[in-house]
A and B are shown apart, each in its own frame.
Chain A
Amino acid sequence: MASDGLHESETLAALRSEAESLKGKLEEERAKLHDVELRQVAERVEALGQFVMKTRRTLKGHGNKVLCMDWCRDKRRIVSSSQDGKVIVWDSFTTNKEHAVTMPCTWVMACAYAPSGCAIACGGLDNKCSVYPLTFDKNENMAAKKKSVAMHTNYLSACSFTNSDMQILTASGDGTCALWDVESGQLLQSFHGHGADVLCLDLAPSETGNTFVSGGCDKKAMVWDMRSGQCVQAFETHESDINSVRYYPSGDAFASGSDDATCRLYDLRADREVAIYSKESIIFGASSVDFSLSGRLLFAGYNDYTINVWDVLKGVRVSILFGHENRVSTLRVSPDGTAFCSGSWDHTLRVWA
């Protein structure tokens, strides 16, 4: 018995030391290809001029902190969710509210529009992701048609439909991500590997195949193969929670926003961080990030109530936008890139162009 115990601890020690040496090898391999910085290569690109972006619409109606928002593919409708349990669908052109539903829980941290525009998904402290079909029948109660799809063992932090209304990808405070069939509620695949709460996820642009990236409180960003459930790449350079991840439009890279007050760009083919977007004067966490259509601009919302606009290639800030009266919690560029929408703890959403 005693000798078994000794054998086991030797194996454990051997495995741990192999893990350490593999980590070292990984860093070495990555470093070999680090021949230049992105911003150096980008020196030959013309600098960007002055940007004039203003709030063009303010969406008022939530009674508490706005936590999440998503655009409809029609480039006009927006779904948003709030701490007070309300989920609202807006027409961003007119600012009219088209639908509203009250969830049975508070802190609805995640919401998403279905690709068809006919349904929305949301969830939060209820540990679930539910799908609500959108109906224009005034007599129908939206809450009546609610379908519970995902079940986690802790809060739902993010959700996204895949390319169709049939599947939803979720991220949770329970440290996992999961892929679900909407119709049956069946778990299709689960993704284990984060060492703490997963806070965000983003699906790769459809042309680049079946992967997605997630970020968590373990400071790691992980890229997953949706079919196998395998983590294919992991990045650990942030110094605090990663609140937001978003793919670069080509699918070859992704950006992240973190409580360490920086945003970073990771290139998937070089398998490393290639840019950091930071300034000494920026000391509050970045809560949400998104790219403009060409990938040249990165919009980031911060806990100091501002939105910073970064030149992705040169690594410098090109604009700072004021307007919100509390933390910016969520930010998405519209599907046709004409505007972006930000949601805030000040209870409002703003559309900027």
Chain B
Amino acid sequence: MSSKTASTNNIAQARRTVQQLRLEASIERIKVSKASADLMSYCEEHARSDPLLIGIPTSENPFKDKKTCTLL
């Protein structure tokens, strides 16, 4: 009895695996050259607004210390 349940489970599991693989194998893909070009153009387009990449003036970065005045 229990071995039959176990093997039924194994079959159900195996069927799910096959179904999942069929799904994954059937998706549409693009060439790495095209994908790379798109990643690069995204970087280029957004480089100007990337503070950690290009650096922003100290006055505009709340984390960078500005020269402070001391009250004497």
What's the least CB distance linking A5 to chain B, in Å?
A: 8
The 8 A CB mask of B5-39 against A (1 = contact, 0 = none) is 00110110011011011111101011111111111
Contact B33 A35 (CB under 8 A): yes
Alpha-carbon distance between A37 and B31 when the two chains are bound, in angstroms: 10
Among B22, B23, B46, B53, point to the contact of A232 (Cβ < 8 A).
B23
A135 located at the interface, meaning its Cβ lies under 8 Å from any Cβ of chain B in the complex: no
Query: Which has the most chain A C-beta neighbours within 10 Å: B11, B40, B56, B61?
Result: B40
Residue A142 lies at the interface, judged by CB distance under 8 Å to chain B: no
A200 located at the interface, meaning its Cβ lies under 8 Å from any Cβ of chain B in the complex: no
Q: Which residues of A contact B2 (CB under 8 A)?
A: none
Q: Is the CB of A294 within 8 A of B47?
A: yes
Q: State the CA gap A34–B32 with chains docked (Å).
A: 5
A338 touches B39 (CB 8 A): no
Known: A15-B14, A41-B40, A338-B62. A269 touches B35 (CB 8 A): yes
Given A15-B15, A292-B52, A296-B50 in contact, is the A8-B7 Cβ separation under 8 Å?
yes
Interface of B is mostly: helix
B36 engages A274 (CB within 8 Å): yes
Q: Give residues of chain A (81-100) contacting chain B, Cβ–Cβ below 8 Å.
A: 92-93
Q: Please tell me the number of chain A residues within 8 Å of chain B, measured between CB atoms.
A: 65
User: Among the listed stretches A23-31, A61-69, A157-165, which one makes contact with chain B, having 4 or more residues with CB under 8 Å of it?
Assistant: A23-31
Q: Does A144 contact B (CB under 8 A)?
A: no
Interface string of A248-279 (1 = CB under 8 A from B): 11101100000000000001011110100000
A35-B33, A36-B36, A271-B29 are contacts. A11–B43 as well, Cβ < 8 Å? no
B67 close to A (CB within 8 Å): no
Known A18-B18, A22-B25, A234-B24; judge A312-B43 contact (CB<8 A).
yes
Determine if A42 and B36 form an interchain contact, defined as CB atoms under 8 angstroms apart. Answer: yes
Q: How far is the CA of A132 from the CA of B29 in the complex (A)?
A: 43
* CB-CB nearest 4 A-B residue pairs: A294-B46, A15-B14, A294-B50, A22-B21
Q: Please name 19 further chain A to chain B contacts, defined as beta carbons within 8 Å, in addition to the given A16-B14, A295-B39, sorted by A numbering.
A: A5-B4, A9-B7, A11-B11, A22-B21, A26-B21, A30-B29, A38-B35, A48-B53, A193-B20, A231-B20, A249-B46, A270-B34, A274-B36, A274-B39, A293-B50, A297-B52, A338-B51, A339-B61, A353-B61
